[in-house]
Amino acid sequence: MKAQTSVCQLLDRQSMDYRGWWWVAPPQDEWLLATGGGVLTGDQGVLDTWRASGGSASSALSTEPLGEIPGVVLFWPKSHALGEWWLLALCERLPVGTPLQVVGENQGGVKRVLKVLAALGLGCRKRDSARRCSLFETRLDRVSVAADAAWQTFEAEHLTLASHPGVFGHGKLDDGTRLLLSTLDAYLPDATRSVLDLGCGDGVIGAWLASRGADVTLVDINLFAVEAARRTLAINDLQGEALPSDVYSALEDRRFDMIVTNPPFHQERRIDYGHTARLIQEAPSHLASGGQLLMVANAFLPYPDLLESTFGKFEIVADDRRYRVYRVVLSERDAM
């Protein structure tokens, strides 16, 4: 099995045995599955893949110790603050002296690891570099900073929002989300109706809807986002259900009167329209007759064709030149 991603190709050329090691925040790469070991991730899609294959898998937010393992490889994320959180969490969950390797793309800032580890009092050396990636190695130790300190709150739209590194819009309200919220009052269903906040992030959209009496369900593939949404609802004394889900995977055949979303189009550093394509194409199976989809997106993204091919027609209800809010109403004929 050949490695598909550049970071895994760098690992594949190492003269060492990774059997039994755990992969932390890894990309989707079949080479990792073939190598074995376990996975520690904040991505529900990666968790589902590993569990389906029979491999060991653990959520990033689990507090259970991982025990004695040969070592761990951390794939440095695009968010440096999230990378720092991972280092703190590994120091808490693994025995002192556990071998740690950190790998990442040079353009993604992996070389910053040297300073981060030094600030934590952990020695580090560069092991290898190739394919515009670098690999560093060290050993874990106890540090004085708690991983849980990464959680923060901020105010937006008359709500208190919980946030964590790696969650979309961490610590601030995204301008696209702000535009979407400014249009929603005109299209809100009856207060007793059900609304799905798809790709919920810190939960601002779902909480905003819940504060107006909607029956809200919030889902995200990012486990940090799901926990942030749960905290946001609790802080504001609002009712709602937050679930980890790879698009609609956790919802089975549930249908909603409204789906509201600000979908991502990046997978780490890569542009990826796959999740949004699924969101649009599978929406008719999760909307009640007469239900509506409202979606905000960067104006340059190629979503009009997807909306038209799936629903036949759509309307643009807001456009500030940077972002557009699209609206579709599912007819009884189109309800699946």
Among 100, 118, 144, the domain-final residue is 144
My answer on whether 36 and 100 are in the same domain is: yes
- Angle of CA points 133, 24, 220, to nearest 5°: 110
Positions in the chain whose pLDDT score sits under 70:
191-192, 265-274, 332-336
> What pLDDT shows up at residue 334?
56
My answer on whether 165 and 271 are in the same domain is: yes
Among 115, 144, 173, the domain-final residue is 144
DSSP β-bridge partners for residue 113? none
Q: CB-hemisphere CA count at 13 Å for 298?
A: 9
> What pLDDT shows up at residue 55?
87
For residue 33, which amino acid is it? L
> What pLDDT shows up at residue 1?
76
CA distance 242 to 124: 39
Identify whether 95 is part of a domain.
Answer: yes
Identify whether 1 is part of a domain.
Answer: no
pLDDT digits (tens, 9 = 90+) for 314-334: 999 999 999 999 999 987 545
My answer on whether 135 and 178 are in the same domain is: no
Identify whether 336 is part of a domain.
Answer: no
My answer on whether 140 and 155 are in the same domain is: no
Domain CATH code at residue 190: 3.40.50.150
- Per the CB < 8 A criterion, the answer to whether 118 and 101 are in contact is no
- Per the CB < 8 A criterion, the answer to whether 44 and 61 are in contact is no
My answer on whether 99 and 67 are in the same domain is: yes
Does an H or E element contain 310, and which? helix 303-311
| Total domains in the fold of the chain | 2
User: What is the extent of the structural domain holding 37?
Assistant: 6-144
> What pLDDT shows up at residue 241?
97
Tokens of 107: 């353009």
Name the DSSP letter for residue 124: -
Identify whether 40 is part of a domain.
Answer: yes
pLDDT digits (tens, 9 = 90+) for 174-218: 999 999 999 998 998 776 689 999 999 999 999 999 999 999 999
Identify whether 256 is part of a domain.
Answer: yes
My answer on whether 221 and 289 are in the same domain is: yes
My answer on whether 183 and 134 are in the same domain is: no
Identify whether 335 is part of a domain.
Answer: no
> What pLDDT shows up at residue 66?
81
My answer on whether 196 and 284 are in the same domain is: yes
My answer on whether 277 and 293 are in the same domain is: yes
> What pLDDT shows up at residue 268?
45
- Angle of CA points 219, 225, 228, to nearest 5°: 110
My answer on whether 258 and 291 are in the same domain is: yes
My answer on whether 86 and 171 are in the same domain is: no
pTM, two decimals, is 0.93
Identify whether 292 is part of a domain.
Answer: yes
> What pLDDT shows up at residue 326?
97
My answer on whether 110 and 161 are in the same domain is: no
Among 144, 165, 182, the domain-final residue is 144
